Amino acid sequence: MRSVPGVLLAVVIAGAACIRPHSEPRTPAVSALSPLEQLGKSVFFDRRLSLGGNQSCAACHAPQVGWTGDLPLVNAGPAVYEGSVSGLFGNRKPPTAAYAMAPVLHLTVEDGEVLFIGGNFWDGRATGERLGDPIAEQAQGPFVNPVEQALPDTGCVVRRVCAADYPVTFESQFPGSCDIAWPADVDGACTLPAGTLQMKAPDRAASNRAYDRIAAAIAAYERSREVNPFSSKFDRHLAGEAVLSPEEQAGLELFTGRGQCSACHQLDRGPDGEPPLLTDFTFDNLGIPRNPENPWYRAVSNPAGPRWVDEGLGAFLATRPDWRKFAAENIGKHKVPTLRNVARRPDSAFVKAYMHNGYFKTLSGLVHFYNTRDVKPACSGSPTEREALARECWPAPEVMANMNTDELGNLGLSQAEEHAIVAFMETLSDGYVPAARQQ
Ligand code: HEC
Ligand code: HEC
């Protein structure tokens, strides 16, 4: 276990003294948002937009933990989150909803190899082809996903957003969007777990248009400075305003050097000089073990039961006639996530989960895996990360096909070097307060 570096500890204490002693703010500090971004924020944090009136996007994407799941006991085990309806779970770990501005999913050919780039979700299936924007398309999923916010019909989301008393109303941003003749029993129908609102074709079309606009508002918020402040120590360092500690600096050098991390978690600036997003939006199979604690293996809605395998991008491509021929070579691949805020948490004891299935609970265990996946013997059974570390072995990969053996698996890093890479990742948390300002 790493101890908390002194600088970070000082920030925590300074923060506790001058903000609120025990509670994290539920929403980030108010910043200058455009009216459209403000509308998107209201929608993002509105629990009424779920079947039980109990779940907003923030339930699985909470700012204080870097816009991912904020329940440490869930992260420590299953890592997948329960939806609005109790007992129903998704089958993947929520990735961060920040720094998620992926390009539209597309393919390129590099050195004779076909590479898919972009899209949202671990498997890129929110492609962005329809709305021209993956994060807008992604935002249309959760409200009507039975294992998430679980509303029976997209019209229910429109109905409730139109009626909401947000500081910036939907009508003010998109005049006329709420001129829809709803069925007489709309509000009752929207409290039922299934069913379709019966609407005339022009009203259905108007509701669909409004649903696209709601998604555009959420996407505007997810692109805003509030969600993507680029205010980490690393950003200060890039701007020449902060100096990394010797360990963090060594970690950065390993990240781009022998660790090869930046081959996928890119550190290049964007085309207009934007700070790096720490992803190249490609897909890879790292050979992550299955997470034995994922309740999906026992879910009634999962016909494969414990034999279920998450085939990632390949499974999505298989659903697309135009891309089906690339499915086999992409089985087991998941999107390279940003590493911004990967270490962000309310306190050092708070457990986060990493990778598409949340198998890893610590950054140190995860870096040790990159370093030694192909060096340690195979574990018998299906141990957790903690058990595997204690037994000095790694479980078999969830998917063997297409596993990347070029850039990871045997990096030859010492324990100190592994720790340095973790220390570098800890500089990627937003809200860095330079030491001079702490007094
Ligand atoms: C019950 C938990 C849950 C809720 C509620 C939820 N999400 Fe998610 N979110 C997830 C999971 C799990 C994934 C990954 C799913 C996958 O890849 O198949 C995800 C993926 C995402 C991504 C993709 C990030 C990327 O880089 O690809 C974004 C953005 C996102 N969610 C935003 C939202 C928004 C906006 C809402 C509300 C409309 C929302 N989420 C509601 C669990 C949730
Ligand atoms: C070949 C590309 C590649 C390289 C090299 C690589 N990564 Fe990754 N990284 C990925 C992919 C793909 C995932 C998601 C895999 C999954 O969930 O199945 C990931 C996930 C992660 C995560 C989990 C993030 C989250 O939100 O769950 C961390 C942390 C991480 N990588 C750190 C590193 C570090 C540190 C290195 C260098 C030692 C590194 N990566 C090298 C592709 C790569």
pLDDT per residue, tens digit, the chain (439 aa), is: 333 333 333 333 333 333 323 344 455 555 689 999 999 999 999 999 999 999 999 999 999 999 999 999 999 999 999 998 888 888 999 999 999 999 999 999 988 889 999 999 999 999 999 999 999 999 999 999 999 999 999 999 999 999 999 999 999 999 999 999 999 999 999 999 999 999 999 999 999 999 999 999 999 999 999 999 999 999 999 999 999 999 999 999 999 999 999 999 999 998 888 899 999 999 999 999 999 999 999 988 889 999 999 999 999 999 999 999 999 999 999 999 999 999 999 999 999 999 999 999 999 999 999 999 999 999 999 999 999 999 999 999 999 999 999 999 999 999 999 999 999 999 999 999 887 655 4
Cα 83-88-89 angle, rounded to 5 deg: 70
Q: Determine the Cα–Cα distance for residues 28 and 83; give it in Å rounded to an integer.
A: 23
The residue nearest atom 40 of ligand 2, judged by CA position, is 261
Measured by CA distance, the residue closest to atom 13 of ligand 2 is 336
φ, ψ at 216 (rounded to 5°): -65, -35
Pair 388, 289: CB distance under 8 Å? yes
Distance CA 256, CA 421 (A): 10
Q: 198 alpha carbon to ligand 2 midpoint, in Å?
A: 46
Query: 96 CA distance to ligand 2 centroid (A)?
Result: 14
In the reported structure, the alpha carbon of residue 434 is separated from the centroid of ligand 2 by a whole-number distance in angstroms of 28
Pocket of ligand 1 (CB under 6 A): 44, 55, 57, 59-61, 81, 83, 90, 92, 94-95, 97, 100, 120-123, 135, 138-139, 142-143, 148-149, 218
CB 428 within 8 A of CB 343: yes
Q: Is 286 in the pocket of ligand 2 (CB under 6 A)?
A: yes
Buried b (16+ CB within 10 A) or exposed e, 118-149: bbbbbbbbbbbeebebbbbbbbbebbbebbbb
Ligand having the closest approach to the CA of 67: 1
Which residue type sits at 306? P
**Would you say 434 and 241 are in contact if contact means Cβ atoms under 8 Å apart?**
yes
Q: Which of 352, 360, 342, 337 is nearest to 289 (CA)?
A: 360
The protein residue with its alpha carbon nearest to ligand 1, atom 36, reads: 57
Task: Give the nearest ligand 2 atom to 408 CA.
Answer: 5
Total number of residues shown for the chain: 439
Handedness of CA 117, 144, 206, 169 (dihedral sign): negative
C-beta separation of 148 from 55 below 8 A: yes
Give the residue whose CA is nearest to atom 43 of ligand 1.
60
pLDDT score, position 26? 53
Give the Cβ contact number of residue 109 at 10 Å: 8
**Cβ–ligand 2 contact at 340 (below 6 Å):** no
Question: What burial class does residue 273 get, using C-beta atoms within 10 Å of its C-beta: 0-12 exposed, 13-18 middle, 19+ buried?
Answer: exposed
Ligand nearest the Cα atom of residue 277 = 1
Instruction: State which of 67, 101, 121 you would mutate to test the pocket of ligand 1, scoring each by most atoms of that ligand within 8 A of its C-beta.
Output: 121
- How many whole angstroms from 337 Cα to the centroid of ligand 2? 7
Would you say the CB of residue 423 lies under 6 angstroms from ligand 2? no
Cα 138 to ligand 1 centre (Å): 7
Per-residue pLDDT at 123: 98
CA within 13 Å, CB half, 418? 19
Measured from the Cα of 96, ligand 2's closest atom is: 26
Of the candidates 71, 134, 130, which has an alpha carbon nearest to the alpha carbon of residue 100? 134
Q: Rounded to the nearest whole angstrom, what is the distance from the C-alpha of residue 93 to the centroid of ligand 1?
A: 9
**How far away, in angstroms, is 265 Cα from ligand 1 center?**
20
Task: State whether the beta carbon of 264 lies less than 6 angstroms from ligand 2.
Answer: yes
Report the pLDDT value the prediction gives residue 434, as an integer from 0 to 100.
Answer: 81
Exposure of 31 by Cβ count < 10 A (0-12 exposed, 13-18 middle, 19+ buried)? exposed
Cβ contacts of residue 308 below 8 Å, gap of 6+? 91, 296, 297, 302
Rounded Cα–Cα distance for residues 75 and 79 (Å):
4
**C-alpha to C-alpha distance for 294 and 273, rounded to whole angstroms:** 40
